[in-house]
Structure formats: structure tokens, C-alpha cells
Structure 1
Amino acid sequence: MKQIEIEYKTLLSKKEFENLTQKFSTVPLITQTNHYFDTKTSHLRKAKLSLRIRTFSDHAEMTLKIPQEVGNMEHNIPLSLEDAEQMIKRNKLKPNAITQLLEDSGFKIDSIVKKGDLTTHRRETLLPIGLMALDENHYSGIVDYELELEVSDPDQGKHAFEQFLAQEQIDFKYAKSKVARFTQSILKDDA
């Protein structure tokens, strides 16, 4: 499956996160783990690509994100939890539509390895303004809090997101993508 992802996000203070958690307390909590992949010398990151396997309690998916003029083109394929766990454990990707896309772009699949993990505890709900996600993220000994709004129209979505923040008295705090924050945390570890 291929789709354009347009989202707005802000980091949250712990207090802002707790206030929104109360507001969305009836929304089920889902835990997911992003297992990020790249070459040892970060060729995917340098090409501005992001590759992950996301695992849930009963299924998984592989996603390749490719930046576009607005948003990211996401290529997603479903995986069985067993296949995902084998690829993660063996640190070796099985051939599929996404690995073929990478190979067609000149990347050697055998050189792609798992770089690390980011686990998110998420409350996700569809609102009139878009798909909203309230996230608590754990990676590299760090915990951060984030609010995301996924939309189909970039201008209307931006306006709706800004209105929601104002209504909830949340100060906008720039949030890099999860993969960028994760990567920054492991680069610090390597320094």
C-alpha cells in the first residue's frame, strides 16, 4: 500500500501529556515498537529515507518513507508477527516489495541492519479535524511526549492543529520525526 502522509506534531510537557491523557482516557492504549533499519554507515538516512518494521501485539508492518514536496510517500506492507520477529532477531530482511524498491534504488539489502528500537504507548482517535495520536515514546533511555495530527489537506490541517493547541492551552514545541529523534539519540551514544 502506498499513501501520502501529512501530519502536524508538537512535543508535549509531561503536564500537557497528562492533561490530554485525561481528555482521551476512553481511547484504548496501544503499544507499538518501531524497529529502525539502515546501513551501518547510514546510507538510507543520508538519502532521506526511513525504513522500519513496526510490531504490535498480534501483527506487524514494514514501512519505507520517502520525502515528498508535501509530506512523505509511505510504502507499507503487512507482515506476520512471526516474520517480523525473525527479521528483527536475525538482523536480516526477507525479500518483499519494499526491499525490491530499495534494491531498485541501488541499496544492497544485505547491508541493511537494525539500528535500534523506539516503543510508543499511543492513544489514537479519529476526530473531525483528522487522526489524532497522543504518544509516550521510549528510546535510548529517553522518554518524550508528543501529539500528532494526520490530515489529508495540509492548509486546513495546519489551521485545525493550531486551533486545537490554542483551545488546549498547549505551547507548540517543534518535534522532529520519531526516527530523527531516535537517530539523534544513538549518534550521541556513538560520540
Structure 2
Amino acid sequence: MKKNHLEIEYKTLLTETEFTHLLGDFSEVKPVSQINYYIDTPELDMKKNRMSLRIRTFDEQAELTLKIPQEIGNHEYNQSLSFTEAQELIKNFSLPDGEICQLIAQTSVPVQKLAVWGQLSTIRYEKETPIGLMALDENRYADQHDYELEVEVTDPDSGKIAFHDYLNSKGIRFKYASSKVARTANSLRPAQ
């Protein structure tokens, strides 16, 4: 877990066939299971303030993450949690002390109204590549099941070109992928 950093990433949705094809590039990687629990107020105050808040749990640890969009990428703030702390927060959310609490307190978000509203489970294959940190994900949320490829880069321009070159080399057409939190929220909206 990186503590606080600027996250610049590119991603594409994948078909199941494309995902299976790319698994060969990650054959030496042990997959990690993680669950994202998304947090907001019933009035979506976090979203209105252009921020997202989640708890991500792993097998034996967890983290609280606040993402704030920047001109390029998101500034990501991470706070370590024990697995037990995370389970308590998921059941009965109360913003723990720390930098994330201080940042949200500077906004109009009523922190006492924050609660977990959705979750997304991922099986992730992650490795460093010449392009950047690449993650091949299989995601399940609500009644949805999807696949995506993400890469975290340091330079937005050369990273984007390298990512698209990689996709082309694998015969994969780029397919826009909204964020995991946005896809989860959209899956929970009633049909119009």
C-alpha cells in the first residue's frame, strides 16, 4: 500500500476471452482477493464533493482510502486498518481519526451520516511492467461480473501511449471503463 500519492491510471474493460488470453502474461503472479466497500451519505455528499471513500479488505489486513480528483489523476490517501477494525467499520461506519478524517472535515460532508452503501469483490493479478504497475481484475458487484485491465503510470502522456500499444499488441480494442465505484453505483440504480 502506498501511503499518499498521485494515482494516474488507464484502464479498459475486457471480454472474458480477452481476460483469459491476458492471464498468460500473469502466469507467475499469485492472485489476491480483495473487497471494496464504498462509503457515502444517503444524499451522496462525498460524490457531490467529487471524492470517493472506500474500505478495501484483504485476507488479513485492510485500508481506508480517500480519492480526490486532480487535473490529471487522483490524489489517493490511504490509512491502514486491522482486519477487525475494518469489519467493525463496515457494520457500523464511523470515520476513524487520521488525515482522511481531517481532509473530509474541511468539506461540507456530514461525517456522521457516512455509511457503507455497496461492495465490489475483485480477484487481482498485479505486477510491475515496463509501462507501470499493471493489474488484471475479475470483478463481481450486485448482479454484475466484469473484467478489466488497469495500469498505473508516472507520466500521463507516455503511459497512455504505452498502454494503448500494449493493447494493440494483444489484439485488444480499448473499451471505456468507468471507475469501480461508478460501476457499482450504476448497478444499484433502479431501471428507468
Instruction: Determine the C-alpha separation between the residues in 1 that align with 2:107 and 2:90.
Output: 23
> Structure 1 residue 94: deviation in Å?
2.7
Match of 1:137 among 116, 136, 139: 139
Which 10-residue stretch deviates more, 162-171 or 99-108? Answer: 99-108
Three-state SS of the structure 1 residue aligned to 2:50 is: coil
Structure 2: give runs of 5+ residues left out of the alignment.
none
Structure 1: give runs of 5+ residues left out of the alignment.
none
Three-state SS of the structure 2 residue aligned to 1:5 is: strand
Report the equivalent of 1:60. 62
Instruction: Determine the C-alpha separation between the residues in 1 that align with 2:108 and 2:130.
Output: 42
> Structure 1 residue 91: deviation in Å?
3.0
> Structure 1 residue 50: deviation in Å?
0.5
> Structure 1 residue 48: deviation in Å?
1.4
Report the equivalent of 1:93. 95
Name the Cα RMSD after superposition: 1.2
Three-state SS of the structure 1 residue aligned to 2:190 is: helix
Match of 1:127 among 126, 129, 135: 129
Q: Is the 8 A contact 2:16 2:147 kept in 1?
A: yes
Report the equivalent of 1:108. 110
Q: Is the 8 A contact 2:49 2:107 kept in 1?
A: no
Letter in 1 for 2:79: I
Report the equivalent of 2:29. 27
Instruction: Determine the C-alpha separation between the residues in 2 that align with 1:93 and 1:45.
Output: 16
Report the equivalent of 1:163. 165
Divergent runs of 4+, >4 A: none
> Structure 1 residue 12: deviation in Å?
0.2
Report the equivalent of 2:183. 181
TM-score by length of 2: 0.95
Three-state SS of the structure 2 residue aligned to 1:169 is: coil
Instruction: Determine the C-alpha separation between the residues in 2 that align with 1:87 and 1:134.
Output: 28
Q: Number of residues paired by the alignment?
A: 190
> Structure 1 residue 129: deviation in Å?
1.0
Report the equivalent of 1:50. 52
Instruction: Determine the C-alpha separation between the residues in 1 that align with 2:97 and 2:181.
Output: 23
Instruction: Determine the C-alpha separation between the residues in 2 that align with 1:89 and 1:101.
Output: 23
Which 10-residue stretch deviates more, 166-175 or 94-103? Answer: 94-103
> Structure 1 residue 105: deviation in Å?
1.4
> Structure 1 residue 170: deviation in Å?
0.3
Letter in 1 for 2:24: Q
Instruction: Determine the C-alpha separation between the residues in 2 that align with 1:46 and 1:109.
Output: 14
Three-state SS of the structure 2 residue aligned to 1:188 is: coil
Match of 1:6 among 5, 8, 11: 8
